[in-house]
Amino acid sequence: MALNPDTSFVDTHPQAGEAAAVLYPPIEPFASGHLDVGDGHRLYWELCGNPHGQPAVFLHGGPGSGCSADQRRLFDPARYCVLLFDQRGCGRSTPHASIEANTTWHLVEDIERLRRMLGVQRWLVLGGSWGSTLALAYAQAHPEQVTALILRGVFTARREELRWYYQDGASWMFPDEWTHFVAPVPVEERHDLLSAYARLLTDADEATQLRAAVAWSRWEARTIILRPDPVSLAQRTEPRFSLALARIECHYFMHGAFLEEGQLIRQADRLRGIPGVIVQGRYDMATPPRTAFELHQAWAGSDLRLVEAAGHAFKEPGITDQLIRATDRFAG
């Protein structure tokens, strides 16, 4: 594998006299609806910005979280026409919290269905966290449809990445929060927490499911940002949201996101010719920087923007700054 010679780690503090980029003003969709994608699933979708602007699609994290109003604000509404959608089983899509016919490759085909529905030939793809996984899988399967890639908090679902976050890594940094995460799991099952949670989240008893779901979602909410955010914690531990997030995430991660081990890094040569920006927090506990670095090295033409004072969440100021700069860069 040839190394990418254009590594560009940056301290993302603005230069003297330069203001940090901030989210664009709140915006409402100019169109929305539901698309029947088969298998009993109906996806919520919305279009924001300029109907005649540059096409873009936003891929939310999780899987299982759904898209939010603030994610619309990563794009200049005068220059972009942005599609956002809730992936199978979450947000406003139905059926809620369903893991049936719900895999990475179902979602890749869903993105293609949405593109064809809109009559778009090529578009920019932005994805963060799990959205970066899905963006990479989509771009490697359909490179001819992608004008540029913007990735945040890169995650490729390799065994070592999953073990870091759900077994033997991040627990060393958050021992207090780890006690809450393992609390629903019997001691004798804690050697394999993903398997234990897969059982709990599909238990016949609804109370057992919800207790596990809230513990899973709390762990994520408390570890993805440098400074605790009570609002985000409350949103992410709401029972309905937690159930979709936890059940779908655990389903995907138990199956290695339905990818071959190391597939997305190994097949990075399929991105040749696609320009891209990778935005990564230095202190990201959910998806540590090594994966972003390895992807950057394997993907010729990528630009790695390492944010020194940030964790995982897109609302970290330095990460927001770099994402806005990236969407502005590719706005034509």
Q: What residues are annotated to the active site?
A: 129, 284, 312
SS3 (DSSP) at 198: helix
State how far the Cα of 116 lies from the Cα of 160, in Å rounded to an integer: 36
SS3 label, residue 117 = helix
Q: Which of 298, 303, 258 is nearest to 277 (CA)?
A: 303
Between strands 54-59 and 41-49, the pairing is unpaired
Identity of the amino acid at 193: L
Quick one: DSSP state of residue 94? B
**Residues 213, 97 contacting (CB under 8 angstroms):** no
Helices of type H across 204-266: 206-223, 230-236, 239-254, 263-266
Strand partners, 83: 47, 57
Structural contact between residues 123 and 147, judged by C-beta atoms closer than 8 angstroms: yes
Give burial (CB, 10 Å; 0-12/13-18/19+) of 9. Answer: middle
Pairing of strands 146-152, 123-128: parallel
